[in-house]
Amino acid sequence: MNVLVGYATAHGSTREIAQRLCSRLRAAGLNAEARSLETVDDADAYRAFVLGSAVHGQAWLAPAKEFLRTHHDLLAARPVWIFSVGMPGALRGPWKRVAGTEEPVIVRDLPGPLSYREHRLLSGVIAPQHLPLRGRVLFRLMGCRYGDLRDWPAIDTWAADIADTLSRT
Ligand SMILES: Cc1cc2nc3c(=O)[nH]c(=O)nc-3n(C[C@H](O)[C@H](O)[C@H](O)COP(=O)(O)O)c2cc1C
């Protein structure tokens, strides 16, 4: 089965997550392809979709939202999983609660109605040079930690779950 693992990224960590998901789906026997959503020219060629975006200001990046808008009818007819790459893992102490409140905000902002099997909010990579001065000050005030916060075992497990579901459809 042809599966698109499509992504929108600003600094690359979402692309690497998409590539990892793709390699795991391929290892499970699926014909998966990881592509930037801006470069997909024949969406109809895919029988299933795993779509993700970096999160800025609690929202997906514009090219990813544009893909959902453009292919609304197609996505409604095929299995879809979605993932958002933000920084829940950077939050500490009482701020950890913010991660739980962010997820519904991100999903509500997606062009829809969008029907999907599951949404995951994953941690990506956050570095000081990615943020404007105001963001760096806020980050420090909140006691957040910089770094590569990706949870590869959890990503691999999710890919295995998706592959398992697709193998039964
Ligand atoms: C300008 C900017 C705004 C961000 N806003 C959010 C946000 O609202 N929520 C969040 O969870 N992460 C936010 N992040 C963190 C990024 O989503 C995270 O670093 C992610 O790994 C970026 O993915 P990328 O490397 O594919 O661009 C922001 C990062 C930047 C640079």
pLDDT in tens, the chain (169 residues): 799 999 999 999 999 999 999 999 999 999 999 999 999 999 999 999 999 999 999 999 999 999 999 999 999 999 999 999 999 888 888 888 877 899 999 999 999 889 999 999 999 999 999 999 999 998 888 888 999 999 999 999 999 999 999 998 7
CATH of the domain spanning 2-160: 3.40.50.360
Q: Is the Cβ atom of 36 under 6 angstroms away from ligand 1?
A: no
List the alpha helices (DSSP H) in the chain. 13-27, 62-70, 72-76, 96-109, 133-141, 152-167
Instruction: Give the ligand 1 atom nearest the CA of 121.
Output: 11
pLDDT of res. 94: 81
Question: pTM of the full predicted structure?
Answer: 0.96
How does strand 147-148 pair with strand 80-86?
A: unpaired
Query: What is the Å distance from ligand 1's center to 137 Cα?
Result: 15
Identify residue 22 by its one-letter amino acid code: C
Q: Is the CB of residue 102 less than 8 Å from the CB of residue 88?
A: yes
Q: To test the ligand 1 pocket, which listed residue (11, 37, 56) has its Cβ within 8 A of the most ligand atoms?
A: 56
Give the residue whose CA is nearest to atom 18 of ligand 1. Answer: 86
Distance, CA of 94 to chain centre: 25
Identify residue 6 by its one-letter amino acid code: G
Cis peptide before 111 (omega within 30 of 0): no
Q: Is the CB of residue 66 less than 8 Å from the CB of residue 97?
A: no
In 10 A of CB 69, how many CB atoms? 12
Burial of 160 (0-12, 13-18, 19+ CB in 10 A): middle
pLDDT of res. 42: 96
Which of 42, 50, 46, 48 lies closest to 70 in space, CA to CA? 42
